[in-house]
Every structure is written in C-alpha cells, then in structure tokens.
Structure 1
Amino acid sequence: PGTIKARFLPPIPPGLGKEEFMQRLIGETEAACDQMLVEAAQAPNPPPMPPTAVKRLAELGVTART
C-alpha cells in the first residue's frame, strides 16, 4: 500500500560539454528529489523516513512530521 510519485523534468539541451551536462543532470535531479522528499515529509501521513532522508531533511532545514 502506498503511492508512487514521479516527476518529469525539463529536457537538458543537446550539445553541452560533458562536465556541464553532468552538472545540470545532477543539480536538477537532486533539486527535484529534495522537493519530493520535503513534500513527503510534510504530508499529513508521512512515510517512515530512513536515516539518510532524516539527515538530508535536516540539511535542508526541514523537520519531518511524526
């Protein structure tokens, strides 16, 4: 039981150098993951959070609901 959420991000433009491509890929993916983690943590009935998620939420300045 539960809900799976996915998000489609805007495409990364072609023709970028490898380093810029990787920076954009990682940066945009991590930002979207952080946003989804915060949404899950602040939901009315949040899922149990593993230690890595709790640590990341703390880095983002967010406290998970319990």
Structure 2
Amino acid sequence: ATAVEPELTTVRLPAEQVGERGMEALLAVLEGRPAEPGSLPVRLVVRGSTAPPPAASRT
C-alpha cells in the first residue's frame, strides 16, 4: 500500500489471529461442528488515497 502514489488506505488485520481463527474453523467443520462466529480487531490505516468529503454546496 505504500509502494504506489498516492499511498493506499488499508485495513490492518492481525494476521496471526486470522490464521488461528481460520484453522479453528477448518477443524470444526472437519469434525462436523459449526465454526464459532467472532470478530477480530481491525484498524483503518489512512494514507494519501483518502480525501476529505467534498464541501457541501450552498445554494
């Protein structure tokens, strides 16, 4: 995301936790159980590709 101009805004994910949850889900499915739902912490990394909203026109 930082190798292009403007740098791209991204969402940062905890890669290790994503892999852990994926493996837990796979093992659950292989054992005939439903995968556990859940969420992971994510963080928006704002870079140059994000601009403020356009100003509202006053008419």
Q: Output the TM-score relative to the length of structure 1.
A: 0.28
Higher strand share: 2
Greater relative CO (CA pairs within 8 A, separation 6+) = 2
